[in-house]
Structure 1
Amino acid sequence: MMATMGTSSNHFLGVDVGTGSVRVCIIDETGEIKGVESKDIKTWHEKANYYEQSTEDIWSAICYCSKLVLEKSGIGKASVKGVGFDATCSLAIRRGMLFVCDLLRPEKETKAINATNHKLFQYVGGSMSIEMEIPKVLWLKNNMPRELFNKCKFYDLADVLTHLATGKETRSYCSAVCKQGFVPVGVDGSVKGWQEDFLNDIGLPELSENDFMRMGGVHGANGTMLSAGELAGELSEKAAKELGLVAGIKIGSGVIDAYAGWIGTVGAKVEMPKDLLSGGHTGSDPEQAFRRLAAVAGTSTCHLVMSKGPIFVPGVWGPYRDVLLPGYWMAEGGQSSTGSLLHNVLTTHPSYNEALEKSNELSKNIFEYLNEHLEALRKSENAPTIGYLARHLFFYGDKHGNRSPIADAAMRGAIVGLSMDSSINDLALQYFAAMEFIAQQTRHIIETLNHQGHEITSIFMSGGQCKNSILMHLIADATGYPVVIPRYIDAAVVLGAAMLGAKAASVDSEGNTESLWTIMDRMSKPGKTIHPTENANEKRLLGAKYEVFLQMSKAQQTYRDTVNAAIGDWKN
């Protein structure tokens, strides 16, 4: 039997650590958010592709927000029964008692690791990403004094936060499996999870010593590995004082931020044909999640989907077992640049400042202003749709490389159809073309996933981009699938973290906790649905533009190969 909680007296705290800020929310037992507070964190950025943050600064920001959200919500600290953490995929290095997060992009090390063609790469989408943590550890070995490197232990940031809260060291399957080359015991002959031959092959044999203690150890032997929200320990006296909470509160095992977004998004209650929404599965059945793609959108966008068994998809990270629900598998695709792409397109255009000034005069944000400008332009041109206005503007937006499904960090942006126009009209059309690219790439990712065996029939979005009605309709129209937007658009990630706290607080006397899916189903609020267009002409136009999108991606790779063949080893 799970622990029984009261009808309204219990609350749960969620902590989300993003790239540049911390957010803390408090929810009640129904999943209603009672307050959210945020605070910026400091990043040291001494040169391109090198970033560092201090976990001391991050923890201080968490404590500030925790106390503030309790104060503003008027909720007594004694009613908080559980805390959950999520964080960006940041490698944290422990030197003595100091943790430092390194966010660098180690290109040379990533290439060297992938050159080994190790069999575990099939569980990370075919190759190690520059964003994963093993390449960063190898960079540190190559660039730190050896005696200092030998004293370091390596963590994912979410695990560090759990450790700071409990004083107890545990590791989450989410961080280990997704970012560090861990294969769960029993999968493909894995005996200890960590792969000793792989670490030897890539030049990190010292991480295998003492049963992989520097990476978290072996589960059940000298370490503990937990799925999302499983009880990681209780809040220590020291941490309770710092957070303004009561010692002994249950702490749930943390996750990477995108996975918290999945938790806070895919349980949204919506009216939709059962064949699209859940395949006929009931709300308490986690298998309905197999048809729901979670798109967690921010600076970039992560696409996550669950499956009952392992499905291997080239260019898509995973499949990962046990990270959220024990025994189930997750795949993680993504777009390297979405929110940041739109920002780049706007701010680099000659008419940006003029458009920004006009939007401020109307007390609108720049996206609202441009969306209205596009509609006014459509009417003035007597065009059937906004997309018709941009029918001969072809935009390819991988300015920061392609994460999925091409998995090519060298991909860059391209645009065909430019004129001499540099007015706000041209700015608006380029902005629309960038949104169209985001939608078409979403289709590309979904088609790739489904071609390999997934059964996605709906998209559950979260993040600030959900407020952009044109973008949401473009994604629905381009993919042909309904887009579901949850109630808490901006807070889905931190809501997911709070649900981890609720799971930990449900622990019974035998150490068992309530199913995370059951908690999600109970705590998720109704959302709204955007259905794809039924206009045949609009479908044909988007279909044609999708074919051009695919051709542009292939053409760029062909161009690079042609030039590389011509110059050979010229630089050497």
Structure 2
Amino acid sequence: MSNAVYFVGVDVGSSSVRAALVDNRGHVHKTSVREILTWKPKYNFYEQSSENIWNRSLEVIKDVVSGTDAANIKGIGFDATCSLVALDKNFNAIAVSDSNNNDQNVIMWMDHRAYNEANAINKTNHTVLKYVGGKVSLEMQMPKLLWLKNNLSEKWSQYGHFFDLPDFLTWKATGSMSRSLCSLVCKWNYECSARNKQGWNLDFLHEIGLNDLADDNYFKIGNKVLMPGEYCGGLTNDVACIVGLKTGTPVATSIIDAHAGGLGMIGARAQGIDSDKSSRLCLICGSSTCHMAVNKDAVLVEGVWGPYYSAMVPNMWLNEAGQSASGILLDHIIESHPAGSALLKTKSSGEIRRHLRDILLEMAKKEGLSSIDFLTKEVHVWPDFHGNRSPLADPTMRGMMTGLTINSNEENLAVLYLATLQALSYGTRHIIDALIQAGYKPFKSLLVCGGIIKDPLFVSTQADAASLPILQPHEKDSVLVGSAILGACASQYFPNIQDAIHNMGGTADVIQPDSNTKLYHDKKYRIFLKMYQDQLEYRSIMNSQ
């Protein structure tokens, strides 16, 4: 390893911090992980600690660089969830709820407290909203900032700095107050219609009641904006000493975690699969799932975030769709079922999923079915247990199930689990339809990464439901590869991100859809769409006089 060139990728997810030592071919040589704290002070409130996250980040970086000559580690890239970090005027953590616990100074991406604020912003119909599918999401930062101002008014003047979590990490590493274009355009309603036309929209801030954020040249929210992968500063001496790296090691401008996953795998190569980036839809599958599509032209898609210029791949427009609950929904299905809660006493989540797959195979064999897919003929699920992010952009949507019985054995759980996997896959198909109807050319492949893809049934079901081949990168940690690609660019080892994507994207396995199940999934998809219409009809009935 002494003559090799390495980069460090750091990924802050919803429940843990991870780091990887990645070489210049995109191979992961070493990883480390640490759990992070989460508080749930009220229903739909999710809070974390920026200091806890940073300390865990230092630990995992130190772990992965240990034993490697620091001279061979050329750059560092950070990605993180799009959570909101609040600091006071002295850069100390400050509470984001009436708990007054200053350790709880991060409002997580999945926090849904700002429902009323999001509605108020959307009622303005401001022109900037066209870049978020017509509606700002309550998961974004402007609704959360407005919530803080409305609900903690006595504390509002004490807030000195707001960071998106990825930018907080680069500030801690370098002291640079710069912000990433990725975070700002995707989550802060920062305008960027091209490289030379970008900035905060003061009229928008004034109309939603946050014009004070413009004070001192937008000092609280950032006035220096860099592209993901641009050099944002060198590692400070203090941080370098803690982790065992050289002072001044280049640190890249950060990126949102899902976007890092897209960056890390969109260049993956597979025989017989078109390499055109605009022909690929990237699925980054964790607690939630993000669907990333890029295009050389700007495409406005109702209910889908974007188009964002250069937010993931430079000089291409990004549309970002997604599902608010995917991995956490599957966990909920298992945990809330009598058979699942019993299994959790003796088996891990991964073991349970393997056990359920075995049960499904045995059931299909007994019933003489050619595919386990056919076991869900009578069971249908609408998966929006935590609202719909895309393409309906409706956080009030609720989950639905039909075909339930009083049977609570493991076979019943297995079928319900499969029906939920299928529902999530039809959600992907729903997003694909919206993108194509708005102007995207038909996609030729899906790429997948993230925790859920450890279940091969999830992957094959996505392929079958969409009738598209899936590319599954051989390097399993695409998110960490993506953040390492940023570090490579900051170090100028590669001249640009396009070259880094090509050289570090690696290869992938191809999972082809089962053509024998296409008609079945077409029928179930029709029912999926009807369940949405049914839910609207139920609301109409209950809201009628």
- TM superposition score category, shorter chain reference: over 0.9
Pair 425,325 (structure 1): closer, same or farther in 2 beyond 3 Å:
closer
Tell me how far 1:43 sits from its aligned partner.
Answer: 2.1
1:406-434 CA deviation, whole Å, 9 max, x = no partner?
Answer: 11111111111122322111111111100
Pairwise mapping of residues 18-417 of structure 1 onto structure 2 (< 5 A)?
A: 18-71=13-66, 74-95=67-88, 96-99=90-93, 100-103=105-108, 104-105=111-112, 106-146=114-154, 148-149=156-157, 151-184=159-192, 193-217=199-223, 224-273=224-273, 277-278=274-275, 288-356=276-344, 365-417=351-403
Distance in 1 separating the partners of 2:316 and 2:463: 27
For 1:431 and 1:365, the matched residues in 2 are separated by 14
- How high is the TM-score relative to the length of structure 1? 0.89
How far did residue 143 of structure 1 move? 2.2
Alignment of 1:426-445 (within 5 A): 426-445=412-431
- Partner Cα separation in structure 1 for residue 186 and residue 543 of structure 2: 33
**Cα deviation code 1:396-455 (max 9, x no counterpart):** 111111111011111111111122322111111111100110111111111111111113
| Residue identity in the other structure for 1:101 | V
Shift of 1:32: 1.3
3-state SS of paired residue (1:351): helix
Point out the more displaced range, 40-49 or 425-434: 40-49
**1:320-361 deviation digits (Å, cap 9, x = unpaired):** 01223333210000011111111111111121244446767x
Distance change in 2, residues 1:192/1:506 (3 Å): closer
Superposed displacement of residue 47, structure 1 = 1.8
Deviation at 1:291, TM superposition (A): 0.8
Name the residue aligned to 1:532: 513
Q: Distance in 2 between matches of 1:518 and 1:184?
A: 24
Count of residue pairs brought into register by the alignment:
529
Determine the C-alpha separation between the residues in 2 that align with 1:357 and 1:136.
38
Helix, strand or coil at the partner of 2:106: strand
RMSD over equivalenced CA pairs, Å: 2.0
| Preserved contact between residue 385 and residue 397 of structure 2 (Cα < 8 Å) | yes
**Aligned: 1:474 with 2:455:** no
Deviations 1:358-411 (A, max 9, x none): 767xx9711111001100011111122212221121111111111110111111
The 1:482–1:186 alpha-carbon spacing in structure 2 relative to 1, beyond 3 Å, is closer
Does the 8 Å contact 1:298/1:338 carry over to 2? yes
Cα 1:154/1:438, change in 2 over 3 Å? same
TM-score (norm 2): 0.93
Q: 1:252 to 1:460 in 2, by over 3 A?
A: same
Instruction: Measure, in 2, the Cα distance between the counterparts of 1:545 and 1:270.
Output: 30
Q: Give the Cα–Cα distance (whole angstroms) in 2 for the partners of residues 543 and 147 of structure 1.
A: 53
Q: Does 1:501 align with 2:480?
A: no
Q: Look up the match of 1:285.
A: none
CA distance in 2, matches of 1:44, 1:342: 21
Deviations along 1:14-59, one digit per CA (max 9) or x if unpaired, are 1111112110111111111110001111223222222332222211
Closer/same/farther in 2, CA of residues 427 and 81 from structure 1, 3 Å limit: same
Look up the match of 1:10.
5
Instruction: Answer yes or no: is the 8 Å Cα contact 1:67–1:243 preserved in 2.
Output: yes
Please report how far the alpha carbon of residue 8 of structure 1 lies from its aligned counterpart in structure 2 after TM superposition.
4.4
Contact 2:82 2:165 in 1 (8 A): yes
Q: Distance in 2 between matches of 1:8 and 1:480?
A: 45
**Relative to 1, partners in 2 of residues 1:186 and 1:15: Cα closer, same or farther, differing over 3 Å?**
closer
**Equivalent pair of 1:8/1:28 in contact (CA under 8 Å):** no
**In 1, Cα distance between equivalents of 2:155 and 2:360:** 60
Between the aligned partners of 1:237 and 1:558, the Cα distance in structure 2 is: 61
Amino acid in structure 2 at the alignment position of 1:203: G
Do structure 1's residue 561 and structure 2's residue 518 form an aligned pair?
A: no
Q: Is the 8 A contact 1:336 1:398 kept in 2?
A: yes
Question: Does the 8 Å contact 2:251/2:487 carry over to 1?
Answer: yes
Deviation at 1:483, TM superposition (A): 0.7
Alignment CA distance shift 1:498-1:381 (3 Å): same
Match of 2:438 in 1: 452
1:94: Cα distance to partner?
2.0
In structure 1, C-alpha distance between the alignment counterparts of 2:304 and 2:189, rounded to whole Å: 15
Q: What secondary structure, in the 3-state scheme, does the structure 1 residue paired with 2:71 have?
A: helix
Q: Using the alignment, how far apart are the partners of 2:499 and 2:491 within structure 1?
A: 14
Contact 1:227 1:324 in 2 (8 A): no
CA distance in 1, matches of 2:155, 2:457: 55
CA 1:335/1:384 → structure 2, altered by over 3 Å: closer, same or farther? same
CA distance in structure 2 between the partners assigned to 1:127 and 1:430 by the alignment: 33
Q: What SS is found at the alignment partner of 2:475? A: coil
Tell me, in whole angstroms, the C-alpha distance in 1 between the residues paired with 2:198 and 2:24: 38
- Structure 1 residues not aligned, in runs of 5+: 1-5, 218-223, 279-287, 508-512, 567-572
Q: Give 3-state SS (helix, strand or coil) of 2:199's partner.
A: coil
Q: Cα distance 1:145–1:243, how it changes in 2: closer, same or farther (>3 A)?
A: farther
- Given candidates 503, 517, 520, the residue that maps to 2:498 is 517
Q: Judge conservation of contact 2:447–2:470 (CA < 8 Å) in 1.
A: yes
Contact map agreement 2:3 2:72 (CA 8 A) in 1 = no
- Report how far residue 186 of structure 1 moved: 5.7
Q: 1:424 to 1:78 in 2, by over 3 A?
A: same
How far 1:474 sits from its partner (Å)? 1.3
Tell me how far 1:457 sits from its aligned partner: 1.6
- In structure 2, the residue corresponding to 1:43 is in which secondary structure? coil
Q: Deviation digits for residues 233-291 of structure 1, max 9, x if unmatched? A: 11111221122211011111000100001011212121124xxx23xxxxxxxxx1111
> 1:414 is aligned with what amino acid?
M
Who is 1:281 aligned against?
A: none
SS of 1:48's partner is: coil
* Contact map agreement 2:2 2:72 (CA 8 A) in 1: no
Say if 1:62 and 1:243, in contact at 8 Å, map to a contact too: no
User: Structure 1 pair 8/452, CA: closer, same or farther in 2 (3 Å)?
Assistant: farther
Cα separation, 2, equivalents of 1:177 and 1:139: 20
CA distance in 2, matches of 1:192, 1:211: 15
Find the aligned partners of 2:198 and 2:228 in 1 and give their Cα distance: 20
**Which sections of structure 2, spanning at least 5 residues, go unmatched?**
94-104
User: How much has 1:476 moved relative to structure 2?
Assistant: 0.7
Q: Which residue of 1 aligns with 2:97?
A: none
Partner of 1:282: none
